[in-house]
Amino acid sequence: MKIHPIFYFLLLPVLLSCEDEASKKALSQNLSTQQLTIDQQRFDQAWSQLQTDHSNSDPFQLNGLRNDSTMLMIDVAYSGGCEEHDFELIWPEVITMIYPPRYTVILNHESNNDACEAYLSSTLYFDLSQYDLGLTPEIMDVIDLTVINGSDGDDMLKLNN
């Protein structure tokens, strides 16, 4: 059976788009790291800078917030693609004595001077059970949590179950 040469020209864009999509997915998964910092002084400093000049964080966008038991998942988008990006979720040490517990946390972004212009999306995962926050799956079902974008104080997401 002979394959017509035009078939190859029709197939080429499909193959290239799949490869391009796979590359974008690999970039979004491999070019970000995340850490959780529980420190009242660091939180107060980030809060203060958020109120003034936002110099603590490079620009990014908050796109989604959800949890599965004690796993907190934050969807973010940012420009880059050439350097590893670091995200830090800053949690105050203060334990609220109200029910349901209410927390405000700040998410900062460090682009490491990435000058590339791809627009990347990724999900940051924070396993809150690893930290001494007293957040059980039952509490995570009722928690009132606000995540504030460290580069734009007006960009925030609420998780109120």
Q: How confident is the model at residue 93 (pLDDT cuts 50, 70, 90)?
A: confident
The token duo for 75 is 């969807």
Contact between 48 and 65 under an 8 Å Cβ cutoff? The reply is no
pLDDT band at 20 (very low <50, low <70, confident <90, very high): very low
The alpha helices in 31-133, defined as continuous H runs, are 40-51
Domains of the chain in start order, with CATH, are: 5-160 (2.60.40)
Q: What is the pTM of this model?
A: 0.78
| Overall average pLDDT of the 72-90 stretch | 95
* DSSP string across 118-155: EEEEEEEEEEGGGSSS---HHHHTT-EEEEEETTEEEE
- Comparing C-alpha atoms, which of 147, 132, 137, 160 is closest to residue 70? 137
How sure is the predictor about 4, in pLDDT bands with cuts at 50, 70 and 90? low
User: What is the pLDDT confidence band of residue 99, given thresholds at 50, 70 and 90?
Assistant: confident
